[in-house]
Amino acid sequence: MIKKNTISYLLAIFMILATPSIAQDIVPSIDESVLNLRVCMDARVLYAAQGWEGSMFDYRLEQSEAGTITQTHNDSIVVQWGNTKGIYQLGVRETSMFGCVGDWAFINVQVVGEFAQFTQPVYNICGDSAVYIDFNKSDFRAWEFVDKSIPENGRITQPGRYEVRTIDQDFCLLSSYVDVIQTPMPQVTLRPDTMICTSGYTIYALNTQNNPPETVYTWYSDEMYPLEYIIQSGTNIRSIMVTDNNLEKDIRYRVHAELNGCYSIDSALVRACVIPNRYLNIPNTITPNDDGDNDVWNIDVLRDYPNCIVEVFDRLGRRVFLSPRGYPVPWDGRDLNGQMLPMEAYYYIIHINDELGTPPVNGWISIIR
């Protein structure tokens, strides 16, 4: 347990020697054998002077950064030393009751001490996490957190100003302070993985409306995998555009939303547009003979595209079938008038009509009986 004294007093005696001059006048002077003194940083020290009865004393610190003379009582003063290590000069001058002024004389005062040097100037708690306050513990004989609830490893979960008391190698008892702040985690979400079949598609960072305006969004791409490179970064860059150059292979895009060193990450895979592979399972024949097996053209993949439209044409280019949006009723091999079409190969066009701009899918469908 470290106990802190609120004020420490050191009595330094300035020895005044008097040498007679003319008549009854006295010229005071200072003994050259004054001591060198050591004090701790931030210490308050009482210094006293001795001289002829009735004399008055003046005091001064030679260096402004040394500290401050806070109290003066003619034959004594209190000095509040600063927090900068070094050797400083404290001077005294005596004026006798007869008006004779002595020379300035000085003692050297060495200010010593060691403050805790924290690993970070300010610690930042991200969201509901914790930080660990650390400093140069090996430089001290003893140390403690003033807040007894803090474990020895310095784990902090609440913002505030925290005090660490230390005793250094010069036995100086000093208090060091460090600030801990808390930053809410920024939010960011990307759309699910998707396939892009057109240039100019925009990837948006979603759920960012509650982020502070100073939140920085940094977009990465693994287009040159295994290396990643930054596409864009800035406070207002909440989207990026995928161009023609990005459509030849699958690319994962990642966004960092960063605020005061706290960040959230999300990523999305953008697949290259490979229409033949996507629609390899489209049937190419139907057998409308009322046996209950393959009587209609079922295209299961179109269930994911509610705006799709299917067209079928004969070899002369005449449209024989046009579906409503979503292809709700599979084609049964009849023309627009409800007449059964002959066995033949027919050309189809499927308009996907999705938000990605997927191009139409086309091919041949045969009627067999």
pLDDT score recorded for residue 49: 87
How many other C-beta atoms lie within 10 A of the C-beta of residue 93? 19
How far is the C-alpha of 23 from the C-alpha of 35, rounded, in Å?
A: 33
- Residue 226 DSSP code: T
Taking only the tens place, the pLDDT of each residue in 228-281 is 678 888 888 888 887 655 566 778 889 999 999 999 999 988 877 655 555 657
What does the mean pLDDT of the chain come to? 83
Token pair in block for residue 178: 């460090």
Q: What is the DSSP string of 123-154?
A: EEEETT--EE--B-GGGEEEEEESSTTS-TT-
Taking only the tens place, the pLDDT of each residue in 84-132 is 999 999 999 999 999 999 999 899 999 999 999 999 999 999 999 999 9
pLDDT score recorded for residue 35: 47
pLDDT band, residue 45 (cuts 50/70/90): very high
Could you give the domains of the chain? 13-112 (2.60.40.10), 122-183 (no CATH), 194-271 (2.60.40.10), 275-367 (2.60.40)
The strand pairing partners of 165, in sequence order, are 144, 175
